[in-house]
Amino acid sequence: MKFLPLFILSAAAGTAFATKGDGDNATDDENDMGWGKHYNNNSSSTSPKSMSQCRQLAHLTQLTSLASDPTKLSDLPPDKAATLKAEASQAAAQLTALQSNATLMASCSSYLAEQEMRRQCRTMAKLEKLTALVNNSTALSAKTDGDAQKMETMQAMVEDSAQELASLQGNDTLTAYCSVLERESMCKMLKKLEKMMDKAGGNGTSTAGGGGGRGRYYHGGKNETTEGGGGDENDDEKGKWQDKKAWLEELKSNATLVEMCAAMDSSDNKGTSSNGQGGDSAPDPGVITAGAERALGLQPLGNMVVSLAAVLLFSLLVL
């Protein structure tokens, strides 16, 4: 069982000195949904070298913050907690050097502000998911295999994080930002699933064979071949296919989402063609684009409409 504190802390462990791409600290699911994507600064005011230092600054800041939190460290196995603290200790001098560079800090301010908001979006999503699981006795029992101790642990985690979750949910600016991010991420996932199904052939119909033949399936971003024979492995892959196909159909059945994604594509294509830079300047799928902002008027449930500029301005003011 992978519990939330370990789930969060493990994202930072082992990355203290890396200057990786934007999604490297996120899990696969987070990257799929766009949570692992970060600020994409295409302005000439921030050089590629500075952006690399901004990413490094964000990694080191997160690492030292986690390592200095006794509550979160107590939820880790002793060896992992010790490793995390050791890495943070080794990174301290490097972090201090970066923070002492006033020019760099000014250049990274917007990046760091959005990093923090995206981190809060991920935290809120995880806490909401955990709370929903704990409140569903049937699902909780299935998730923990009926282990009473595990269920009590998860229930205690929900109780301990209730105040933090309420604080996040009560921040109208944050919830609006997360709403934009989630919808844009769903558009990204919709495209990803469509491409997977198209490459597989038959609009996502698996051709995995039974009997003694060979079946082909498309999974995990690459074509693979598996021996037929009606074994458990083939059955499992067929099940995964059905899950992906059902997910795609669910997304495509959301007319509001489809319309918003189309509006985003139209806006992004116009922006790309007008700057004469071709595909290299296409917006990152995890970044809130102008098309997404305009499409926000379509979002249900009465969520507050807010542009990325307003969100970043607010973030800078509260830093």
* 132 shares its domain with 192: no
Sequence-distant (6+) residues with CB within 8 A of 118 are 35, 37, 38, 181
Residue at 271 is within a domain: yes
* 74 shares its domain with 203: no
* 52 shares its domain with 22: yes
Return the percent helix, strand and coil in the chain, to nearest 5: 65, 5, 30
How far is residue 5 CA from its own chain's centroid? 16
* 132 shares its domain with 14: yes
* 93 shares its domain with 68: yes
pLDDT value, residue 158: 94
Residue 144, class by beta-carbon neighbours within 10 Å (0-12 exposed, 13-18 middle, 19+ buried)?
Answer: middle
Residue at 256 is within a domain: yes
Residue at 305 is within a domain: no
* 156 shares its domain with 68: yes
pLDDT tens string 244-254: 888 888 888 88
Residue at 304 is within a domain: no
Domain, as residue range, for 69: 4-170
Given a cut of 90, whether residue 124 has pLDDT beyond it is: yes
pLDDT (mean) for 172-178: 93
**Inter-residue contact 240 to 219 (CB < 8 Å):** yes
* 152 shares its domain with 203: no
Given a cut of 50, whether residue 290 has pLDDT beyond it is: no
d(CA 25, CA 31): 9
Q: Which of 141, 170, 199 is the last residue of a domain?
A: 170
Tokens of 170: 């009560």
Residue at 24 is within a domain: yes
Sequence-distant (6+) residues with CB within 8 A of 59 are 12, 15, 16, 18, 19, 20, 25
**Inter-residue contact 38 to 114 (CB < 8 Å):** yes
* 57 shares its domain with 147: yes
d(CA 250, CA 240): 15
Least Cα distance to 15 among 74, 49, 57, 78 occurs for 57
Residue with token string 């600016």: 173
pLDDT tens string 189-209: 888 888 888 887 654 444 443
How far is residue 287 CA from its own chain's centroid? 12
Residue at 308 is within a domain: no
Which DSSP string do the residues of 103-118 spell out, in sequence order?
Answer: HHHHHHHHHHHHHHHH
Mean pLDDT, the chain, rounded, equals 68
* 151 shares its domain with 256: no
* 148 shares its domain with 202: no
Residue at 42 is within a domain: yes
Indicate the DSSP class of residue 122.
H
